[in-house]
Amino acid sequence: MKLSAFVVTAVLAVSSVNAALDAKIKAKGRAYYGNIIDQNTINIGQVTNILNTEFGAITAENSWKWDAIEPSRNNFNWGNADAIANWATSRGKLIRGHTLVWHSQLPGWVQNIGDRNTLTQVIQNHINQVAGRYRGRVYAWDVVNEVFEENGSFRNSVFYRVLGEEFIDLAFRTARSADANAKLYINDYNLDGPGPKIDALLALVGRLRGRGTPIDGIGSQGHLIVGQVGNVESQLKRMGDTGLDVAITELDIRIQRPVDSTKLAQQQRDYETVTKACLNVPQCVGITIWGVSDRHTWVDSTFPSFDSPLLWDDNYNRKSAYTGADTALN
């Protein structure tokens, strides 16, 4: 009996080491290790093979954003969004819905609304249509996205200009009504170090909860730079101390050009550090990497002096960065 138990334990240990990222993080009690897909990658076999084998949750990179789904008032384009939803659910993947209310990728007709009642109705209708369509299929919604400036003040969006802070309560309450069982998140970037932005977000979360507004989680995007990840764990802990779920929602770690072996080695250590940071914070439920291959990344156009932020290279080969994430999970 002892020998049999030893053999079983050894087999399980080997299986764990060889398992995919998602299986490994689930073995540690977390919900998922995820990634993104969209129309630019959904028909690329190398991408979908990696997503199928390594990742357990899917976020649509762009197809669920307001300008893509509702380009004119009450005119909803579901084709691309449905394709993502169907791809994920048919493969048993969790879905993170991204994003319901965001100042960017917002059509001009919304930007130009100046009337409180009109904007309230537009927000409610958009959330009811989108969250209602995918009700029961979505693990979590990024209900509001990027509401703060770096100095901790509210972003001067149409939502804040017209409705003030109450647009956030409105969005969360509408989302809860539209999809009662999904986790509801506030999501933002540059929450990876101390400063006025994370302070403002945590204060807002306190106010929302004080008003009874339904909120389940905080998403920290995690668009990081190689060699600058040392504060991630302490800030995740601050978010977790609210009692809400925490997730790293859009992780990439970009490298200043030119990319060399020294920087790639640092990137490996950084992916290990960030993955361990999530594992070390009990409220951290999962990590989403913002792209599969360095061939398809927003970094190329947004930060042209940077490159190579992901776990697979331009030719879909695993990088040492993958080993970093994998080592943390082992």
Nearest to 161 by CA among 226, 216, 114, 124: 114
* Region of residue 146 (left: phi > 0; alpha: psi -120 to 50; beta: else): left
Listing DSSP states for 36-66 in one string gives EE-TTTTT-HHHHHHHHHH-SEEEESSTTSH
The residue count for the chain: 330
165 is catalytic: no
Three-state DSSP state, 107: coil
CA separation, residue 82 to residues 12, 60, 136, 137 (Å): 38, 10, 14, 11
Biggest CA pair distance of the chain: 74
Name the helix (H) or strand (E) containing 286: strand 284-289
Instruction: State the catalytic residue, choosing from 54, 233, 250, 272.
Output: 250
Q: Which residues are annotated as catalytic?
A: 250
